């Protein structure tokens, strides 16, 4: 079972360029999430979606957008990248029924903005 698939694994991007990080899950989970991980700051939530067709803002949403057209896909777009968006990005999903489901994480996408 693939679980959560993220692409690309790693990317170097020039500042000002746009970039979409892809995330696909095959577990039919309702909820999906995007986190960024930075040294000393832990995991911070960027955006989330509790079900297809809905999205919400997390702790650090500025500079990022998401869409949830279907259950399986949850892409994260940087419209105009800045160096402070250099980070490791993790997509996650959960079967959110009863709010007790654990998160399943992808392997991450390492983004460097120069």
Considering only 1, 14, 62, 102, the residue that binds other proteins (CB under 8 A) is: 102
The residue (of 12 and 82) whose beta carbon lies closer to other proteins is 12
CB of 33 to other proteins, least distance (A): 6
List own/partner pairs for 80-83 with CB under 8 A and 24 or more apart: 80/16, 80/17, 80/18, 81/13, 81/14, 81/15, 81/16, 81/17, 81/18, 81/19, 81/111, 81/113, 82/15, 82/113, 83/15, 83/113, 83/114
107 binds other proteins (CB under 8 A): yes
Binding site for other proteins (CB under 8 A): 4, 31, 33, 35, 40-45, 48, 50, 58, 90, 92, 96, 99-100, 102-108
């Amino acid at each position: 079972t693939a679980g959560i698939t993220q692409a690309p694994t790693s990317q170097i991007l020039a500042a000002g360029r746009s970039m979409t990080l892809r995330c696909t899950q095959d577990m039919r989970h309702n909820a999906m999430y995007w986190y960024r991980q930075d040294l000393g700051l832990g995991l911070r939530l960027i955006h989330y979606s509790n079900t297809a067709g809905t999205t919400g803002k997390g702790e650090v949403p500025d500079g990022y957008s998401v869409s949830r057209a279907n259950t399986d896909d949850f892409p994260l777009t940087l419209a105009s990248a800045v160096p402070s968006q250099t980070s490791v990005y993790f997509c996650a999903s959960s079967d959110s029924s009863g709010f007790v489901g654990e998160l399943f994480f992808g392997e991450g996408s390492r983004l460097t903005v120069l």
